[in-house]
Amino acid sequence: MNDEVIMRDFDAFRKLVGLDELRLERLRVAGEWLRPKVAEITDTFYERLLADPTTAAFLDGKIEHLKKVHHTWIEDILSGVYDESFFVRQIKIGKAHVTNQVPPLFLASGFSILRVLLFDQIESAAKLNQPDTCPRCSRALGRLLDACQFLIDRSYEQDRLNRVSKATGMSLPLIEALVMLKQQPG
Amino acid sequence: MREELIQSVLFDLNGGSADIEASAIISTDGLTIGSALSSTMDEARVGAMAAAMLSLGERTATELARGDLEQVMIKGDNGYILLIHAGPEAVLSVIVRKEAKLGLVFLDASRAAKAAAGLL
Ligand code: HEM
Ligand code: HEM
């Protein structure tokens, strides 16, 4: 399973979750509201991660560096540009976490925390500004985060298959064929 | 054309020995290139398993410094399964009766593997 295959699946996924022009426009609106808040969001993100002893232990000694890295990513998802290279970048980000042995559970909780933080910000921004400018921006942002999480998660799956392939000498197409065999009853 | 020639290699192999019940040529990715299997055998399943066994056999032989893999033999109380490389990209899988004289089967199978490799 290479990047091309991931992107082919992803195109189907993008259609299914409906990241169409309307939603992309809503994302651009949400981005404008949220961009000034990225530092605050990143700070709170880290407060939450550091409140948990397992993630805190993992982050120990790397916080300053990682905070910058994650600040940049939040800016990126709010940039308003969601072309193919944006999504290919998410695949690379998945690989970076695999390489750095970030447990998949940490990413799942990271995404969960970040969703809540971003939605809270949109809610308060909507209260302060024009309440009816973008009532559905949170939903569009939710769709984008789902898409990013899907692509990042696929790297973990791909990494496991690559490891099986390396250990056994079986090619990736062979492993795929074994996975796709009809289940025998019992 | 190539498939037919491979098929004929397999029919010759099965026909030439009463000890051989079935045989197939499978790509190292597990796809069946040609087969003379009985109707109860699932081609996709046999193919994927044979290719997997060959890969594991190869890896194990290397890991334990046994050199290049020549064959994998599986023995059950109902007979044998023999796997031999047919060129670098394929494997000949032969299903053998339990009463078989293995020396002769090995010989026939090696010859068939070589013939099939020449066609691939
Ligand atoms: C939010 C995502 C989804 C959730 C939480 C969900 C949940 C469930 C649950 C609870 C069951 C019953 C499992 C059981 O029998 O114990 C089920 C069955 C099933 N789901 Fe989903 N599902 C989801 C999405 C989908 C989608 C998108 C499809 C296909 C387009 C799908 C197709 C099926 C099928 C075919 C069954 C088996 C039904 C049967 O027993 O005949 N699911 N799902
Ligand atoms: C919302 C979920 C997350 C996103 C979207 C995200 C995003 C990113 C990005 C964009 C990078 C840079 C990748 C690159 O170098 O190409 C990165 C690196 C990294 N992230 Fe995350 N991250 C998330 C959650 C986490 C969590 C929860 C942890 C740990 C608790 C973590 C640990 C790391 C580490 C260790 C690196 C490698 C940094 C380096 O040394 O360059 N990430 N992440």
Which of A50-64, A136-150, B62-76 is predicted least confidently?
Answer: A136-150
Place of tokens 């939605």: A119
CA proximity to A66, closest of A49, A82, A84, A79 = A49
Class of CATH domain A3-180: mainly alpha
Answer yes or no: is pLDDT of A1 > 50.
Answer: no
Determine the Cα–Cα distance for residues A37 and B67; give it in Å rounded to an integer: 62
Q: B83: which chain A residues are within 8 Å (Cβ-Cβ)? A: none
Higher-pLDDT residue of B55, A6: B55
Ligand 2 centroid from CA B74, angstroms: 47
If you average pLDDT over every residue of chain B, what do you get? Answer: 94
If you average pLDDT over every residue of chain A, what do you get? Answer: 88
What's the per-residue H, E or C state across chain B? CHHHHHHHHHHHHHHHCCCEEEEEEEECCCCEEEEECCCCCCHHHHHHHHHHHHHHHHHHHHHCCCCCCCEEEEEECCEEEEEEECCCCEEEEEEEECCCCHHHHHHHHHHHHHHHHHHC
The average pLDDT across A84-103 equals: 92
Q: Within 6 Å (CB) of ligand 2, which residues are found?
A: A 49, 55, 58-59, 66, 69-70, 73, 92-93, 96-97, 100, 102, 106-107, 110-111, 114
Domains belonging to chain B, first-starting first, are: 2-119 (3.30.450.30)
Interface of A with B (CB under 8 A): 167-171, 173-174, 177-178, 181-182
Ligand 1 centroid from CA A172, angstroms: 28
Answer yes or no: is pLDDT of A42 > 90.
Answer: yes
Between A and B, how many residue pairs show a Cβ–Cβ distance under 8 A?
A: 41
Atom of ligand 2 nearest to the CA of A72: 10
Place of tokens 């190292």: B28
The average pLDDT across A71-78 equals: 96
Answer yes or no: is pLDDT of A39 > 90.
Answer: yes
Taking the CA of residue B52 and the nearest CA in chain A, the distance in Å comes to 6
B8 touches chain A (CB under 8 A): no
Run of H or E including A143:
helix A137-168
Answer yes or no: is pLDDT of A2 > 60.
Answer: no
User: pLDDT, tens digit, for every residue of B26-42?
Assistant: 999 999 999 999 889 99
Higher-pLDDT residue of A132, A57: A57
User: pLDDT, tens digit, for every residue of A165-175?
Assistant: 999 999 999 99
Name the residue in chain B with its Cα closest to that of A182: B45
| Whole-complex ipTM | 0.89
- Give residue B92's identity as a one-letter amino acid code: L
pLDDT at A17 (0 to 100) = 66
Instruction: Report residue A43 as tokens.
Output: 């700070």
User: pLDDT, tens digit, for every residue of B64-85?
Assistant: 999 999 999 999 999 999 999 9
pLDDT at A13 (0 to 100) = 66
